[in-house]
């Protein structure tokens, strides 16, 4: 396939204008001895029908999407209204550049402005940015931001923060004067407030807590906010399952200073992990330390309303080594999909979606806990994920489920060695009652 | 043209665009016990489906985009985004694949990751790649961390990274996040790294030199072998910002020339769409000595198939939850498979041809600070037009009236009033000529009717926007929640 | 053009010395280079500054610039007006746009700076 648009005639004319006789002469600034003197060793090019066939064949070597899956843990299967695909596939949304020339990018910029507003409304925070890469790096950026604001070396992180988010935070702070200290969970699966009270001190810049947390438990954020405030530490709330914002008390209303999370639930398919959508919101006072692109409202030369990327002096292309982050691009197109999703679901749809998640997940949890040999591991309230403990071991159950076309929960032992025989299940509005009953039946069968 | 309102302004109680199937499990109110609930989402929109569709369709029509417009943005490589690549990235088996699915059920996905890694190694001459970074800037951060980990492991942690004065802002920014002090190294009169300066500044406290090649002026750093030698002699490493790889594919391999670590931008050289500002992907390639430090998991091919290897004790850790922007990676892989070796080489050749054609046609019309030969991009400045009070931003805005997206502005910093032009290889001669003609007309206008240029754009959806008051009095969200 | 009783640094800051107190700001040349100022980061009162230490930061839409202290001393006042009206730095950089007032350590440090004549010559050198 070639995407070149020059005819033979064109090339001749252009070479003549430049004053050379061959394309090779264009590369004489690359010294002869370091030029590549052979063809790249790549497969023969595929034309369109071959290309499609090639990827279809590779795709056939995946079979996970044909299973009935109860996997969650940071990636959630939700309904995506068709308008999301339809509108986001427009060339005017897929192929523009970053809106640095606002006069010709009002579509992109207004979408960003609406997205920022929607995130503020969902989180009840004062300002939001145009998005970051994904939940884990958003959490890491929040930690770095809190450190810049407070200057104290310690960051307390709830043990129930998504393990992969913890891992990314560790990577980001490795070469900086920041110490991460973990706070344990209690029997309910919530942040252990006593452990928290013991560990927080005047050296703490911030506290990071996820809700619903990795165990699926919805935290009492108000209490944590109060304790954090007492020690002048910033309260960072992480939201990995954004659909929960449709019905749960907003982090802003609970006292969060910074909210960071994953927006994949808002109209992005599972996509084997990416591209996803990091979101971040904070209090107005912190604006100058807030990373990422931000769209703002302004007027044009004739007084008409318009939108621009603003406060760019925080960013790397101007502030360079003093920037709030090195981040350059955001996930604009993913943010667009989220915007379409949120505007389509609307006020009632968001709540209804979240409500069905709670109902279906708790229905599943109740039925599964009734089975002999299965125990609800944590007593705290859940949104759409829960942890079950299998007295006879999880691998046996997992294997049986697989044989019967079901992908059960995610084994927790690799992340939490003390949670042997435990698995994290996710149930969303996409699971029909029949699907859940099938899971219950199969688990009952293998444990009989 | 009527200004498209915000969605919140057309929202009203009672409208809906979406319905879920009725709840099919027995509803139990007690499931809500102990859950902290919100009353409502204040201000959240309520509109019908047609309103969503019209709103977003009309907004899309106010955007320039590659599908309609020429984007000669230097350093951005705004080439055509092939449509078939969109199609293969949407195949159900990829789209609906869960990142926690058991490895043996996602062998296709792992094959995609390993294949592109192998191809990128071949294209760049590096020996392994990580696909985990979500963007070029994150790739740079990974590159810096790899260098840091490697040197610390050798008991030689260093504090400084050398960054050319022509470098993109992400370079010093990424170095800083890694705990390094970014020290500027000056360009010589050709616009390339000054060797004498490098010899002086390259000490045993310097961890690395960050080099862009060709550099942000479009000039090839032809002393690259010597540069690498100087850096390596003092125990440092060479990091290459691969943003300008479009000039080099099939002609030159950084890995053969002393580069230790490189990042690529799949949304530049490898044609994946910019999406209005992302998602991109910033894979990082390394030589053997840096492999142990790569983020985990790495993809390996074993006797039983592909596996994710998480057991990497020297790894710098994760920079993302999962495996990178997977759908973006598929599009880039499709691009490489469509073009093959010859197609990729042709890409570089025509990219450089198109750029030099533009350069030759506009030389004398616009000032070129450096006369050094350039590859796929070149940097003009507004020096000649400034004599009439017309600046680069005015020229940029006036280009909009001629139907072109402006070039990159005010970068690199070493060219005051810069206009960085990169046409890419997918533009036709006709479109290039239209651009040349527009630029020539604007140069004339700058002399004869500068006011027309200074008050541009005239024909766009909005006129020139006031960025000063946007920054002085930030309004970052719609504020009408209370009424709604 | 440039006030005769001010002293000037190579980084385009000005100093007006009155007894033991110095007022510091940026010059007209500097504000022109920056463009429309949108934000000024001011130091805390009591901050001790050495020569060429950063007083604060001035931000325009497209650029950021550190402001360096031309002499050493202790900050006794900052121009709070700049928080509400950063444009003051553009409109009146030599008077209403003052940035800080300091208690100077050593009045002799002023000798190392340029007077208005030398500064104007220095600017001519830059602009050519």
Please state the pTM of the whole predicted model: 0.95
| B74, B421 contact by CB (below 8 A) | yes
Left, alpha or beta for A55 (phi > 0: left; psi -120 to 50: alpha)? alpha
CATH number for the domain whose boundaries are B84-338 = 3.40.640.10
Exposure on the CB side of residue C88, measured as CA atoms within 13 A: 17
Q: Is A322 on the interface with C (CB under 8 A)?
A: yes
* Interval B386-414: pLDDT, tens: 999 999 999 999 999 999 999 998 788 78
* Interval C48-95: pLDDT, tens: 999 999 999 998 887 788 899 999 999 999 999 999 899 999 999 999
Q: Is C36 on the interface with B (CB under 8 A)?
A: yes
Q: Where do runs of H (alpha helix) occur along B154-257?
A: 170-177, 195-201, 224-233
Left, alpha or beta for A311 (phi > 0: left; psi -120 to 50: alpha)? left
Q: Is A52 on the interface with B (CB under 8 A)?
A: yes
| A182, A161 contact by CB (below 8 A) | no
User: Taking CA atoms, what residue in C is nearest to B416?
Assistant: C33
Give the domain range for residue A302.
82-341
* Interval A230-244: pLDDT, tens: 999 999 999 999 999
Task: For residue C87, give how far its alpha carbon lies from the nearest alpha carbon of chain B (Å).
Answer: 9
Give the N- to C-terminal CA distance of chain B in Å, as an integer.
27
Q: What's A374's domain CATH number? A: 3.90.1150.10
User: Taking CA atoms, what residue in A is nearest to B360?
Assistant: A18
Separation of alpha carbons B177 and A196, rounded Å = 29
Cβ separation of C39 and B410 shorter than 8 Å? no
The pLDDT of residue A408: 95
What domains sit in chain C, N to C, each tagged with a CATH number? 7-127 (2.40.50.100)
Domain match, A330 and A397 both: no
Domain match, A89 and A72 both: no
* Interval B234-283: pLDDT, tens: 999 999 999 999 999 999 999 998 999 999 999 999 999 999 999 999 99
* Interval A166-218: pLDDT, tens: 999 999 998 889 999 999 999 999 999 999 999 999 999 999 999 999 999 99
Single out the residue in A315, A341, A367 at which a domain terminates.
A341
| Sequence-distant (≥ 6) Cβ neighbours of residue B319 within 8 angstroms | A137, A168, A171, A172, B132, B133, B134, B138, B141, B142, B295
Q: Which residues of B touch A262 (CB under 8 A)?
A: 321
Phi then psi dihedrals of residue A386, to 5 deg: -155, 160
Mean pLDDT of B25-31: 96
Q: Which CATH number is B343-470's, of 3.90.1150.10, 3.20.20.140, 3.90.180.10, 3.30.110.30?
A: 3.90.1150.10
Chains B, C: CB pairs < 8 Å:
15
**From A55, A298, A332, residue closest to B276, measured CB to CB:** A332
Single out the residue in A297, A319, A341 at which a domain terminates.
A341
Mean pLDDT of B82-108: 97
In chain B, where the domains are located: 7-60, 84-338, 343-470
Task: For residue C64, give how far its alpha carbon lies from the nearest alpha carbon of chain A (Å).
Answer: 6
Mean pLDDT of B420-428: 97
Q: What's A194's domain CATH number? A: 3.40.640.10
**From A288, A318, A322, residue closest to C63, measured CB to CB:** A318
Residue C128 has pLDDT above 60, yes or no: no
Beta bridge partners of B238: B209
Cβ separation of B471 and C59 shorter than 8 Å? yes
User: Taking CA atoms, what residue in A is nearest to B119?
Assistant: A42
Q: Is C87 on the interface with B (CB under 8 A)?
A: yes
* Interval B107-117: pLDDT, tens: 999 999 999 99
Q: Mean pLDDT for chain B?
A: 95
* Interval B358-373: pLDDT, tens: 999 999 999 999 999 9
Task: For residue C72, give how far its alpha carbon lies from the nearest alpha carbon of chain A (Å).
Answer: 24
Task: For residue C6, give how far its alpha carbon lies from the nearest alpha carbon of chain A (Å).
Answer: 30
Single out the residue in A308, A341, A374 at which a domain terminates.
A341
Cβ separation of C38 and A313 shorter than 8 Å? yes
Count: domains in chain A? 2
* Interval A270-318: pLDDT, tens: 999 999 999 999 999 999 899 999 999 999 999 999 999 998 877 666 6
Query: Would residue A417 count as lying in a domain?
Result: yes
Of residues A314 and A59, which shows the higher confidence score?
A59
């Amino acid at each position: 396939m070639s995407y070149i648009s020059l005819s033979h005639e064109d090339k001749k004319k252009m070479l003549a204008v430049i004053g050379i006789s061959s394309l090779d002469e264009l590369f004489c600034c690359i010294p002869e001895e370091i030029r590549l003197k052979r063809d790249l060793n790549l497969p023969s090019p595929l034309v369109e029908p071959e290309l499609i066939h090639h990827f279809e064949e590779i795709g056939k070597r995946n079979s996970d999407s044909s299973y009935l899956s109860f996997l969650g843990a940071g990636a959630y299967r939700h309904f995506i209204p068709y308008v999301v695909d339809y509108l986001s596939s427009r060339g005017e949304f897929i192929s523009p550049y970053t809106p640095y020339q606002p006069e010709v990018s009002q579509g992109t910029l207004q979408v960003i402005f609406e997205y920022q507003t929607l995130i503020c409304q969902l989180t009840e925070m004062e300002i939001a940015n145009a998005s970051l890469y994904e939940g884990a790096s958003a959490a890491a950026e929040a930690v770095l931001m809190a450190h810049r604001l407070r200057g104290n070396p310690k960051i307390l992180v709830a043990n129930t923060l998504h393990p992969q988010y913890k891992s990314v935070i560790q990577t980001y702070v490795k070469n900086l004067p920041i110490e991460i200290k973990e706070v344990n969970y209690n029997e309910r699966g919530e942040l252990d407030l006593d452990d928290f009270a013991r560990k927080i001190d005047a050296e703490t810049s911030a506290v990071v807590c996820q809700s619903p947390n990795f165990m699926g438990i919805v935290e009492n954020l108000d209490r944590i906010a109060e304790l954090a405030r007492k020690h002048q530490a910033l309260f960072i709330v992480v939201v990995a399952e954004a659909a929960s914002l449709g019905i749960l008390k907003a982090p802003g209303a609970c006292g969060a200073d910074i909210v960071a999370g994953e927006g994949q639930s808002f109209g992005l398919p599972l996509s084997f992990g990416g591209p996803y959508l990091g979101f971040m919101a904070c209090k107005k006072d912190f604006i100058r330390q807030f990373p990422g692109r931000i769209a703002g409202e302004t007027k044009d030369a004739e007084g008409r309303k318009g939108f621009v990327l603003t406060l760019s002096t925080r960013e790397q292309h101007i502030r360079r080594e003093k920037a709030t982050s090195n981040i350059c691009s955001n996930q604009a197109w993913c943010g667009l999909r989220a915007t379409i999703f949120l505007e389509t679901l609307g006020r009632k749809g968001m709540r209804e979606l979240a409500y069905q998640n709670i109902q279906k997940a708790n229905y599943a949890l109740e039925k599964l806990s009734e089975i002999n040999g299965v125990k609800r591991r944590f007593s705290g309230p859940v949104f759409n994920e829960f942890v079950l403990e299998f007295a006879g071991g999880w691998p046996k159950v997992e294997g049986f489920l697989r044989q019967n076309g079901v992908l059960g929960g995610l084994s927790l032992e690799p992340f939490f060695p003390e949670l042997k025989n435990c698995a994290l299940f996710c149930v969303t509005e996409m699971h029909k009652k029949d699907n859940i009953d099938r899971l219950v039946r199969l688990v009952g069968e293998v444990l009989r | 043209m009527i200004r498209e309102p915000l969605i919140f302004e057309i929202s009203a109680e009672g409208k809906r665009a979406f319905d879920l199937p009725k709840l099919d499990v027995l509803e139990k109110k007690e499931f809500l016990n102990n859950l902290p609930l919100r009353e409502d989402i204040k201000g959240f929109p309520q509109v019908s489906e047609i309103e969503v569709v019209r709103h977003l369709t009309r907004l899309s029509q106010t955007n320039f985009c590659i599908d309609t417009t020429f984007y000669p943005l230097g350093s951005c490589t705004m080439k055509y985004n092939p449509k078939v690549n969109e199609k293969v990235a949407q195949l159900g088996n990829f789209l609906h694949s869960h990142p926690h699915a058991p490895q043996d059920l996602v062998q296709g996905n792992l094959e995609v990751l390993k294949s592109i890694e192998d191809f990128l190694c071949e294209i760049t001459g590096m020996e392994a790649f990580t696909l985990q970074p979500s963007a070029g800037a994150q790739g740079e951060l990974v590159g810096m961390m790899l260098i840091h980990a490697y040197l610390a492991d050798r008991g030689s942690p260093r504090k400084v990274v050398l960054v050319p004065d022509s470098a993109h802002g992400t370079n010093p920014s990424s170095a800083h996040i890694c705990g390094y002090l970014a020290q500027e190294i000056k360009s010589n009169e050709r616009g390339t790294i000054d060797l004498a300066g490098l010899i002086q500044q390259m000490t045993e406290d310097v961890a690395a030199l960050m080099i862009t090649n060709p550099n942000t002026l479009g000039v090839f750093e032809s002393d690259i072998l010597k540069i690498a030698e100087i850096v390596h002699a003092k125990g440092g490493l060479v990091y290459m910002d691969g943003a300008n790889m479009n000039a080099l594919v099939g002609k030159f391999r950084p890995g053969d020339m002393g580069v230790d670590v490189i990042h690529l931008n799949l949304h530049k050289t490898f044609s994946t769409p910019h999406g209005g500002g992302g998602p991109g992907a910033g894979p990082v390639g390394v030589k053997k000595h840096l492999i142990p430090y790569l983020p985990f998991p790495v993809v390996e091919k074993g006797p039983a198939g592909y596996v994710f290897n998480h057991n990497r004790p020297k790894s710098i850790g994760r920079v993302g939850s999962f495996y990178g922007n997977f759908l973006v990676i598929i599009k880039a892989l499709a691009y490489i498979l469509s073009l093959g070796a010859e197609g990729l080489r042709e890409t570089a050749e025509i990219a450089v041809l198109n750029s030099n054609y533009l350069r030759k046609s506009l030389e004398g019309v616009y000032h070129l600070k450096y006369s050094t030969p350039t590859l796929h991009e070149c940097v003009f400045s507004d020096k000649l037009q400034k004599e009439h009070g017309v600046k680069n931003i005015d020229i940029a805005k006036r280009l909009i009236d001629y139907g072109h997206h402006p070039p990159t502005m005010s970068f690199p910093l070493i060219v005051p009033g810069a206009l960085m032009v990169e046409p890419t290889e997918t533009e036709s001669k006709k479109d290039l000529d239209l651009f040349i003609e527009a630029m020539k007309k604007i140069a004339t206008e700058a002399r004869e009717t500068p006011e027309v240029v200074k008050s541009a754009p005239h024909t766009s959806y909005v006129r020139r926007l006031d960025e000063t008051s946007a920054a002085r009095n930030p309004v970052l969200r719609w504020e009408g929640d209370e009424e709604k | 053009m440039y006030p005769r009783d001010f002293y000037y640094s190579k980084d385009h800051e000005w100093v007006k010395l009155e007894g033991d107190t110095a007022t510091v700001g940026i010059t007209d040349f500097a504000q022109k280079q920056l463009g429309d100022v949108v934000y000024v980061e001011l130091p805390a009162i009591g901050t001790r500054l050495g020569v060429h230490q950063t007083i604060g930061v001035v931000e325009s839409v497209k650029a950021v610039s550190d402001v360096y202290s031309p002499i050493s001393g202790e900050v006794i006042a900052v121009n709070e007006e700049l928080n509400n009206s950063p444009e003051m730095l553009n409109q009146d950089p030599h008077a209403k746009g003052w940035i800080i007032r300091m208690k100077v350590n050593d009045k002799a440090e002023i000798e190392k700076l340029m007077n208005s004549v030398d500064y104007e010559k220095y600017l001519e050198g830059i602009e050519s």
